[in-house]
Structure 1
Amino acid sequence: MKKILIKNATLINEGYAGIASVLIEGDKIAAVYPEECTIEMERNADEVVDAFGKWLLPGVIDDQVHFREPGLTYKADMHSESMAAVAGGVTSYMEMPNTNPQTTTKEALDWKFNRAAEISVANYSFYMGATNDNIEELYKIDHRRVCGVKLFMGSSTGNMLVDQPVALERIFSEIPALIAVHCEKEEIIRANREYYVSRFGEELPVLFHPLIRSAEACYASSSQAVDLAVRNNARLHLLHLSTARELSLLDDSPLSEKKITGEVCVHHLFFDDNDYAEYGNRIKWNPAIKTCADRLALTEAVRTGRIDVVATDHAPHLWSEKQGSCLKAASG
C-alpha cells in the first residue's frame, strides 16, 4: 500500500494551528505528526510532498447542495458540481431532492446513487424528499444509506410542501431517520406577498424579499418543527437558519448530546439586507438574508457551538434566471 507523506504544512484542524506532517496509507490518514518532518518520517514514505508555507485542512463536508441532476442539467450536473466542490476543498456532499423528477420515491433515490457512482468525483449521499402522501416510500429506503429525509415546511417546487398535520406527525413519529427541515411558514409568506403586491404592485424590487419571506415566517415554522421533534423524540436538523430569534430553539450542549441541531449558510454569515442595494438579485436566497443584527447573532452562534454546521446551499442558476423582480428572479 502506497505511503504518501505531506510534510511541514500549516495544519488547521480541531482548534489546532501549527506546523505538522501527515502520513497517508492508501486512502486513509495513518498518522499526524505535530512537528517538523524528520529524516526517519521521510524514509518511511514512498512519496514526499513538501507543503511548507501552505495550509493543510481536512476535506469539507457540505450537508446541503443542489446539483440539478436529473432534469435540470442545463444548469449543472453531478460531475460539474462535484468537480467544483473538490476544487474548493469540499470532498463530501449531501444533495437535495428537489430535482426533476423529485427524489420522493425509492426508484428516484436509487437512480441518484447509481448516477453518482458513475460520474461524481467527490464522496456523496442524498436526501430522500418527503411529501404529504409518500410515507410508504419513506419506509422503503435504507436509512443507514441516506443522509436524511428532507422536509419542506414552507414554499417549495412541485408538491414537496408538507403542511398536512397528519403527514407531519407520521413523519416525525414513524420515520427512523434524521429529518432535515426547510422552515418558513407558508401562510405568513402568502399573506405578506398579498399585502405588498396590493400596495406596490407585482414588480417589487429584491429588498422586499426578506419582508415577504420574513423573520416571523421563519420562526413560526422552526418552532413548529422543534415542537414536533420534541414530542416525538425525533432527530431534527434545522437547515439554513437566518434569524437571531431561531437560535433560542437550540442550545450549547456538546454535539454528541444533541437531538436537535442547526445549520447556517455562508451567505447568511457574510451578507445582510443592507447589501441588496449593491448586489441585488445575486444575493436572493430562501430563506432571505435578514438584518445585520441577525447576521451577527448567527456568527456568534457558530463561535459558541450553538450552530453545529456551516453549509453552502449551493444552488446554481443561469444568469438569465436571476433577472426580474423579487417575485420572479430565481432564489439560489
Structure 2
Amino acid sequence: MPTTLIKAATIVNEGKTITADLLISDGRIEKIGTEISAPADVEINAEGLHVFPGLIDDQVHFREPGLTYKADIWHESRAAVAGGTTSFMEMPNTVPNTLTQQLLQDKYDIASKQSLANYSFYMGAANDNLEEVLRTNPREVCGIKVFMGSSTGNMLVDDEHTLEGIFSSSPMLIATHCEDEATIRQNMELYKAVHGDRLTPDMHPLIRSAEACYISSSRAVTLARKYGSRLHVLHISTARETNLFENNLPLADKRITAEACIHHLWFSNADYAEKGNFIKWNPAVKTREDRDGILRAVLDGRIDVIATDHAPHTLAEKQQPYLQAPSGGPLIQHALQALLDMHQAGKLTLEELVQKTAHNTAICFQLDGRGFVREGYWADLVLVDLNKPYTVGKHNILSKCGWSPFEGHTFTSTVMHTFVSGSLVYTNGAIVEGGNAQRLMFNR
C-alpha cells in the first residue's frame, strides 16, 4: 500500500483538538507529530481541515442478500465512505434472514468482494434457533440481534423461554430492537376502527407509541440485569426510555448501553406534515420533547452511541399510502454532516461528536484497533471542511434508492477525504475504487 502523509491537520480525538501531521503506512497510523518529514507516496495538505476518526455505524440495513433491488453492500458502502463512515455493522433481517452460521458467513463472503468500508454482520435470533445463535464467535462477529418488536420473516422473538435463553447464555453483546408488539397491534386496531384504511404518517408515532417502546425496553433491561447480560438497546426514540440507563460508570464497565439515531435527534412529529412517509421509521420519530430528551441523554452519558439505522427503500415504495409504505430510510451518507450542523447550532461539541460516533462504539463493541486516532491503530479517518456548504440533491446521493430525507437541505460542512484501513477511498467528491476494507475483529 502507498504511504500517505497528511500535513497540518486539525485532529479531534480523545477529548482534545490539536494541529499535527499524520503518517500512514501499511494501513495503519505510523506516526502523529509536528513537522513530520518522512518520505511518502501521497501527501495531503490538510490545513483548514478537521480530521476525525472514521464513524463506526453499529446499525445499518444494506439489504443484501434478497432485497438488492433497493440496496446492496456495493452501493451502501460507497454512500458510507462518502459520508465519513468507515466501518458498519449490518442487521440480519435480509432475505433469507441471517439465522444460521452459514447464512452469516455468506454475507461476509459478499462483503469481502463488494464493500468499500470495514464490515461486520449481526447473527440473528428467532424463537427457534437458540443453539445456532450460541455458536457465534465473539471474536469475529459484532453481536446477536434480537427483534423484541416486529421485523421481516421469522425474526420477532416473543417467546419468553427463548428470550431467557439468549439473555442467560449469550457470551457476547445482545443488540435489541424494542417495541412491544401487543401494544402496537392494539393501537393499530383502535386507529383502523376510527379511520379505516385512511391512516396517515402523522399517526405513526401514536400507533408505534412511546408506551410500546418503554414496555419493551424496560423488559430488555430487566432481563439483562437478571442475568448480567451485555445488552445494547438500539435507536432510543423517547425521553422516558433514557431514564432506564445509567451514566455513573465508565463506559468499559457498563453492562447495559444504548444508542440514539440521527433521525430521532433531527426530526420530530412536526415534520410529518412535510416529509410524510420519508421519515417513517420503526421506532417512530416522536415529539420535540422526546427529541430534546434524547439529546440530553447523549450529552450526559445515559446514551452512549450515535448511529443511523440506515435502511433504504425505493422511492416508489415510500410514495405508497401510509399502511403500505415500509419503514426506514437512507441516512448513512449524511450522518456526519447532520451532526456537524448540530455542532454549528451549539448542540454538541466536536469532541462529543467524535466520542459518540467512534470512540464509544469501539469501546462498546470492544473493537480491535479502531475508533481512535492513535499510532498503531488502523487509519480509518475522515477529513472535513467545516466551512464548505454542501447541498443534498439526486445528483450526489450514492445510496442505490436514489433519495434522501435530507434532499434539498444545505449542510454547513463537506466531507473532503475518507481513509479506510489506510486506503484513500473518497476524495473531493469522488469514490476511489479498490481500497483495503477489512472484516472487523473484536477483543473478546
Distance 1:2 1:70 in 2: 33
Task: Work out the CA distance in 2 between the residues paired with 1:59 and 1:107.
Answer: 30
Q: Helix, strand or coil for the counterpart of 2:274?
A: helix
Q: Percent identity?
A: 57
Equivalence for 2:321 = 325
The one of the two structures with greater contact order (alpha-carbon pairs below 8 A, sep at least 6) is 2
- Measure the CA separation in 2 of the matches of 1:166 and 1:46: 58
Q: Which amino acid aligns with 1:278?
A: E
Whichever residue aligns with residue 166 of structure 2, its letter is I
Q: Is the 8 A contact 1:208 1:326 kept in 2?
A: no
Please give the secondary structure, in 2, of the residue aligned with 1:42. Answer: coil
State which drifts further: 292-301 or 212-221.
292-301
Q: How does 1:78-157 map to 2 (within 5 A)?
A: 78-157=73-152
1:72 aligns with 2:61: no
SS in 2 for 1:91: strand
User: In structure 1, which of residues 274, 284, 291 is the aligned counterpart of residue 287 of structure 2?
Assistant: 291
Per-residue displacement from partner, 1:136-162 (whole Å, max 9, x unpaired)? 111222222111110011111111100
Aligned twin of 2:272: 276
Q: Map Cα deviations across residues 105-125 of structure 1 (whole Å, 9 max, x no partner).
A: 111001011111111111100
Distance 1:87 1:57 in 2: 14
Determine which of 242, 262, 267 is the counterpart of 2:263.
Answer: 267
- Greater Cα shift, 298-307 or 9-18: 9-18
Gaps of 5+ in 1: none
- Name the CA distance, whole Å, in 1 between partners of 2:16 and 2:274: 37
What is the CA–CA distance in structure 2 between the aligned matches of 1:256 and 1:126, rounded to whole Å? 22
Structure 1 segments, 4+ long, off by >4 Å, are none
SS in 2 for 1:57: strand
Counterpart Cα distance in 2 of 1:142 and 1:257: 22
- Distance (Å, rounded) in 1 between the aligned partners of 2:101 and 2:71: 23
Counterparts of 1:206 and 1:2 in 2: how far apart (Å)?
50
AA in 2 matched with 1:144 = R
The answer to whether the Cα contact below 8 Å between 1:149 and 1:180 also exists between their aligned partners in 2 is yes
Tell me, yes or no, if the aligned pair for 1:183 and 1:238 is still in contact at 8 Å: yes
Counterpart residue identity of residue 12, structure 2: I
Q: Return the offset for 1:176.
A: 1.1
2:240 corresponds to 1:255: no
Q: Say whether residues 1:228 and 2:191 are aligned partners.
A: no
Deviations 1:3-40 (A, max 9, x none): 4220111222222234222121221112222xxx42xx
State the alpha-carbon separation in 1 of the partners of residues 2 and 277 from structure 2: 49
SS across alignment from 2:19: strand
In the alignment, structure 2 segments of 5+ residues that lack a partner are: 329-444
**Residue of structure 2 in register with 1:9 after alignment:** 9
Which residue does the alignment assign to 1:24? 24
Instruction: Assess if the C-alpha contact under 8 Å between 1:244 and 1:294 holds in 2.
Output: yes
The within-5 A match list for 1:30-69 is 30-33=30-33, 37-38=34-35, 41-43=36-38, 45-69=40-64
d(CA) in 1 for partners of 2:294, 2:18: 28
CA distance in 2 between partners of 1:327 and 1:234 (Å) = 36
Q: Which residue of 2 aligns with 1:188?
A: 183
**2:311 matched residue in structure 1:** 315
Shift of 1:56: 1.3
- Report if the CA contact (8 A) 1:322-1:329 is conserved: yes
Letter in 1 for 2:153: G
Answer yes or no: is the 8 Å Cα contact 1:60–1:89 preserved in 2.
yes
| Alpha carbons 1:92, 1:122 under 8 Å: kept | yes
Return the letter of the residue paired with 1:114.
D
Q: Which amino acid aligns with 1:93?
A: F
SS of 2:37's equivalent in the other structure is: helix
Task: State which structure, 1 or 2, has the greater radius of gyration over its C-alpha atoms.
Answer: 1
What is the TM-score when the length of structure 2 is the normalising length? 0.72
* Inter-partner Cα distance in structure 2 for 1:200 and 1:25: 62
| Aligned residues: CA RMSD | 1.3
Output the TM-score relative to the length of structure 1. Answer: 0.95
Cα distance in structure 2, aligned partners of 1:261 and 1:14: 20
Indicate conservation of the 8 Å contact 1:152/1:181, yes or no: yes
For 1:55, give the aligned amino acid: H
Greater displacement, 5-14 / 15-24: 15-24
CA distance in 2, matches of 1:2, 1:323: 46
Q: How far apart are 1:66 and its partner, in Å?
A: 0.4
Aligned mates of 1:23, 1:99 — CA distance in 2 = 39
- Within the alignment, does 1:198 sit opposite 2:193 as a pair? yes
Kindly provide the amino acid, as one letter, of the partner of residue 225 in structure 1.
A
Q: In the alignment, residue 8 of structure 2 is paired with which amino acid? A: N
Q: Which residue of 1 aligns with 2:297?
A: 301
Q: Tell me the CA shift for residue 230 of structure 1.
A: 0.6
Contact 2:97 2:154 in 1 (8 A): no
**Letter matched to residue 324 of structure 1:** Q
C-alpha separation in 1, matches of 2:42 and 2:148: 51
Whole-angstrom distance in 1 between the partners of 2:52 and 2:134 = 38
